[in-house]
Amino acid sequence: MGSKVVLFLPGDQRPVPNQLAQPNVDVFVGALTAALTHLGHQPVVLDRFLTGPRQSIDTLGSIADPMIGVYAHWVYGPHTTDGVVGSDTPLLLASNFDGTWPGLVGLLNTGACLTSLGRAHSRLWSDSADLTADEAFMAGLDEWVRNGAVSHDASAAHAPGPVGAQAAATAQRVHAQLRASRPLLMMLGDTSMGMINGYFGPQRLARHGFSEHKVDQAWLIEQTKTVDAQRVDDAFEFVRQAGVTFHWGGDFTADATRAQLRDYCAVLDLLADCGADCMGWQYQLGLIRSLPPSDFAEGLLNSACRPESNGTTVVCATEADQGNLVPMELMKRLLLARGLHESVAFHDVRWGGLHDGRFLWLLLNSGSAGAYAFNHDPDTLAGVHSYRQPAAYFPIPGGTFAGESLPGAITWARTWLDGDGTLVMDVGRGEVVQLPPDVRDAWWNGTTREWPFMAADLGIGRDDLMAHYQSNHVAVAYGDILDEMIELSRLCGFRVRVLSRQQP
């Protein structure tokens, strides 16, 4: 027989998501063990979810055989990283490619966490129910068992070339503004659900022109008690008049929305207290048993049309993800310098599929996407729908800030931490595509219907992103500001990487 290979199951910290995903995970484990057996190897399954870092250390730390982490639902990064970071045992992350059970999301997040720690690993993915029928997957699996690593085509990831004079001048003006008044990031908590790849810290941020002010999330619970009821009433009337459609029902009531607006007002007060320019908001899991979901408040902050606003956005990154917060703030300033609307959205890279010969990514996030994506009108909240966040994950009722993103040219970006301590800025061009209603509904209903929807051509296909992208999150802005973003990122001291199948 061939090599012994140990399969382990990273999990969610919460029992309910693991229970819901168990049948799907079992199917993928079965397919993976069949694939290994087909190649002549000996799979050994550690048949329990690793639901905490201590479990990961105790279970994985002493394994000397090659290991495969199985990603067939959302998982926490440390439930892999803490058990493997001290060894050089060959490690493969294997995921399904499924929107309903987004193992690809867990793989991308865990891969980025491992990269930030300098831990070598490989990646494989497939949407095939029978992995032995997926020739590319099987070839990669065989290569990994034999060599301890999988090689992927890296031609879509490359260093940027020179930018035009006008783009460079715009970037230089914005950089001068940043140097004159250093942007201050307010971090309301950090490292949501173990996403250690999304936190850089003040020492690294300072080298690139940013400062960080950390606020314990516990402050928000007390801050909400100081919000005057009239402010909440006024905010409630504002969002209704501005065009939000509320899908109240069951325990999701108008009072739940009022509670979310109370939290929004409390966050405004915290922002004013520290004079912050932008913010990251952890919420999960620190506040999940204390306050309603932060989604509606985050969507408002990322909208110019919002209560108690002077007509500007406050960039807010959900899950306290500095890897999105930094490029969101930079893109906002570039958009303003170009005379474009300033809204920048935050999304999960949730799934993707072919449509009319193009590979489109389904970007879908429960948090900070503003209203502009749904209406292209900075003066209204029309097109925003608020549904109850799924009760299995969010016990306290509260609504989302959802809608269908309109078509248009986009620029996207992401900051990530390399294992040598370098902060890297990934950038690319793309296009939001409007799908036919039947296709849109099939994709939306096959993922999470309550969350904001964007179908986007990111200029790279499935395999390029899955092999090389260092996050499950992406920042998206309407408008072509790629050259400006490249130059501004270089001026700020980031290493810049362009992801594109079209070489400059």
**Average pLDDT score over the chain:** 95
Kindly state whether residue 132 falls inside one of the protein's structural domains. yes
Let me know whether 237 and 286 are in one domain.
Answer: yes
Let me know whether 121 and 183 are in one domain.
Answer: no
Residues facing 280 on adjacent strands:
187, 317
Kindly state whether residue 70 falls inside one of the protein's structural domains. yes
* Pairing relationship of beta strands 495-499 and 423-432 according to DSSP bridges: parallel
Q: Which of 86, 116, 147 is the last residue of a domain?
A: 147
Let me know whether 31 and 122 are in one domain.
Answer: yes
Kindly state whether residue 283 falls inside one of the protein's structural domains. yes
**Residues across the chain:** 504
Predicted confidence at residue 14, as pLDDT, reads: 87
Average pLDDT over residues 234-240: 98
Identity of the amino acid at 192: S
- The answer to whether 275 and 420 have CB atoms below 8 angstroms apart is no
Q: Could you tell me how far CA 381 lies from the centroid of its own chain?
A: 23
Q: Which of 96, 112, 147 is the last residue of a domain?
A: 147
Let me know whether 355 and 238 are in one domain.
Answer: yes
Residue 119: CATH number of its domain: 3.40.50.10940
Kindly state whether residue 452 falls inside one of the protein's structural domains. yes
Cis peptide before 50 (omega within 30 of 0): no
Average pLDDT over residues 208-228: 96
Predicted confidence at residue 153, as pLDDT, reads: 94
Kindly state whether residue 153 falls inside one of the protein's structural domains. no
Let me know whether 352 and 276 are in one domain.
Answer: yes
Predicted confidence at residue 392, as pLDDT, reads: 87
- The answer to whether 483 and 174 have CB atoms below 8 angstroms apart is no
Is this model's pTM higher than 0.75 or not? yes
Q: pLDDT: is 1 or 442 the higher one? A: 442
Q: Which of 96, 114, 147 is the last residue of a domain?
A: 147
Predicted confidence at residue 416, as pLDDT, reads: 98
Kindly state whether residue 285 falls inside one of the protein's structural domains. yes
For 203, 212, 272, 300, 332, the CA distances from 291, given in Å and listed in that order, are: 31, 24, 21, 17, 29
Let me know whether 365 and 338 are in one domain.
Answer: yes
For 9, 107, 451, the CA distances from 44, given in Å and listed in that order, are: 12, 20, 38
- 325-326-327-328 Cα dihedral, nearest 10 degrees: 40
Predicted confidence at residue 1, as pLDDT, reads: 47
Residue 338: CATH number of its domain: 3.20.14.10
Identity of the amino acid at 154: A
For 107, 238, 247, 313, the CA distances from 398, given in Å and listed in that order, are: 28, 18, 11, 22
Helix (H/G/I), strand (E/B), else coil: 400: coil
- The answer to whether 93 and 469 have CB atoms below 8 angstroms apart is no
- How many angstroms separate the CA atoms of 485 and 127, rounded? 34
Let me know whether 133 and 178 are in one domain.
Answer: no
Kindly state whether residue 15 falls inside one of the protein's structural domains. yes
Residues facing 183 on adjacent strands:
none
Let me know whether 297 and 344 are in one domain.
Answer: yes
Residue 504 has pLDDT above 60, yes or no: no
Kindly state whether residue 210 falls inside one of the protein's structural domains. yes
Let me know whether 226 and 116 are in one domain.
Answer: no
Let me know whether 364 and 222 are in one domain.
Answer: yes
Domain range for 98: 4-147
Please give the tally of structural domains in the chain. Answer: 2
Nearest Cα neighbor of 349 from 437, 424, 455 is 455
Average pLDDT over residues 470-482: 97
- Region of residue 219 (phi > 0: left; psi between -120 and 50: alpha; otherwise: beta): alpha
- How many angstroms separate the CA atoms of 265 and 260, rounded? 9
Whose tokens are 């209603």? That residue is 437
Predicted confidence at residue 7, as pLDDT, reads: 98
Let me know whether 243 and 382 are in one domain.
Answer: yes
Q: For 99-108, 109-118, 431-440, which range has the lowest pLDDT when averaged over its residues?
A: 99-108
Let me know whether 136 and 201 are in one domain.
Answer: no
Average pLDDT over residues 32-53: 95
